[in-house]
């Protein structure tokens, strides 16, 4: 069963930003907790408050940023401009493997 779909942002950030649409998303808190538990990379955390809607950011500097909470059931994965193509491919593969692990039925 496909756990998620992914589409590149078609507008100005094409090539940098990918949107992940989760088929059966867990609640935001569970998703974030699962991600943080499994990610061993030195990520910087951040938050934004959009009129009460909390956006959670996980940033691996000069590589990528993952944004949780922008839209229900979606996660945004954004490469940094300085990340080389080989690194981008590897980073997204890492992210998708992690996402698969989190979302796979237990």
What is the contact mask toward another protein in residues 47 to 66, using x (rule: CB under 8 A)? -xxxx-x-----x-xx--x-
Question: Does residue 104 touch another protein according to CB under 8 A?
Answer: no
Q: How far apart are the first and last CA of the chain?
A: 13
Residue of 82, 85, 104, 106 that binds another protein (CB under 8 A): 82
Alpha-carbon distance of 106 to 91, in angstroms, equals 25
Residue of 14, 30, 73, 100 that binds another protein (CB under 8 A): 14
Residue of 81, 85, 105, 106 that binds another protein (CB under 8 A): 81
Alpha-carbon distance of 67 to 54, in angstroms, equals 10
How far does CA 9 lie from the centroid of its chain? 13
Alpha-carbon distance of 22 to 15, in angstroms, equals 20
Alpha-carbon distance of 23 to 78, in angstroms, equals 20
Q: How many residues bind another protein (CB under 8 A)?
A: 26
Which chain residues interact with another protein by CB under 8 A? Answer: 9-17, 46, 48-51, 53, 59, 61-62, 65, 70-71, 76, 78, 80-82
């Amino acid at each position: 069963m496909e756990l998620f779909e992914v589409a590149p942002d078609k507008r100005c950030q094409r090539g940098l930003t990918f949107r992940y649409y989760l088929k059966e998303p867990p609640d935001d808190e569970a998703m974030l907790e699962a991600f943080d538990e499994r990610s061993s990379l030195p990520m910087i955390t951040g938050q934004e408050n959009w009129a009460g809607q909390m956006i959670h950011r996980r940033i691996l500097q000069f590589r990528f940023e993952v944004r949780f909470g922008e839209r229900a059931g979606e996660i945004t994965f954004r490469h940094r401009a300085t990340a080389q193509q080989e690194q981008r491919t590897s980073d997204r593969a890492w992210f998708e493997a992690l996402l698969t692990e989190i979302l796979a039925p237990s």
